[in-house]
A = this chain, B = another copy of it.
Amino acid sequence: MTSTRDPGAAFDRVLELTVLLNADMERGLAAQGLTPARAHLVWELQHRGPCTQQTLAGALGVTPRNITALVDGLVATGFVTREPHPTDRRAAHVTLTDHGRRVADGLVDGRAQAADQLFGDLPEPVLTGLVDGLDVVLDRLRAALAGAGEESR
């Protein structure tokens, strides 16, 4: 018999949470006319201000070529523009449009609302227990990933 307090049960819950959370976020982004990859770029842009595509490639962890494609899409849909870089004529300055900035603000708000909807008004011991548990699991996961990174070096 399987307990609801064994490692497998906890893992199942976390997996379901990731699936549902992902679905929820994609739905919200699509309503704004954004894909997850494009939203990520918009998000970075709002936090860093206008920057080059190289910078964005580093921030998103993808190739410069991929950034070209993402920016193309965001330009076509009116979220960003490619401005001339003030000092380097090779580079482009990617900049949020007014619309892009409004949507980006909405993403920040939406994130706060989602956090509140899911975790607001939790009885104090429940929230504390959850956060403590997550911290332990996150530490273990980071350690495991770092170890795997070492191996394949």
Chain A residues engaging chain B, CB cutoff 8 angstroms: 4-11, 13-18, 20-24, 27, 111-112, 114-120, 122, 125-138, 140-142, 144-145, 148
Contacts and interface: CB of A to CB of B under 8 A. Distances in A.
Contact of A126 (B16, B112, B127, B136): B136
B18 A141 contact: no
B17 A14 contact: yes
A126 B132 contact: yes
Given A127-B133, A133-B133, A138 B11 contact: no
Contacts of A125: 129
Given A137-B17, A138-B20, A5 B129 contact: no
Contacts of A7: 115-116, 118-120, 122, 127
A4 to B, nearest CB: 7
A138 B18 contact: no
Given A7-B118, A130-B134, 13 more contacts: A7-B115, A10-B115, A10-B127, A10-B130, A13-B131, A14-B17, A18-B22, A24-B141, A24-B144, A24-B145, A117-B140, A122-B136, A126-B136
Contacts of A145: 20, 23-24
A61 to B, nearest CB: 10
Nearest to A130: B133
A10 B138 contact: no
